[in-house]
Amino acid sequence: MKSETGKRIINEITKETGLSRDVVYKIIMSQYGCLRDTMQKSVSDQPETFQSVRYNYFGIFKARMKVFENMKGIQQYNKQRKLRKQKKYGTSNDQ
């Protein structure tokens, strides 16, 4: 960890448990790997597939529905933009 607070927490846990500093660091960082894996399992077009993850004494990580609404708006805008280009130039270079 780069922050002084993170280093202090790791040192405290190391002293309390007697584990090596590397083991404590890997345990702490594995939680974020679990969070990443859980979020990657979801399907981007289906908000109901996003699961929330709760870390005790830290907080809850969950997807915000407003983000999905904005994404749908962007997708609609891009479709309309592509259609306007096709009408204007007769073709579109968008993939």
Phi, psi of 55 (to 5 degrees): -105, 125
- The yes-or-no verdict on residue 34 having pLDDT over 80 is yes
Cβ contacts of 31 within 8 Å, gap of 6 or more: 55
0.75 surpassed by pTM: no
Measured CA to CA in angstroms, residue 16 lies from 13, 24, 29, 53, 58 at distances of 5, 11, 18, 27, 20
Question: Is residue 19 within 8 Å of residue 11, measured between CB atoms?
Answer: no
- Mean predicted confidence (pLDDT) in 8-27: 92
Percent of the chain at pLDDT exceeding 70: 85
Residue bearing tokens 């306007």: 84
Q: Which value, in Å, is the radius of gyration of the alpha carbons in the chain?
A: 22
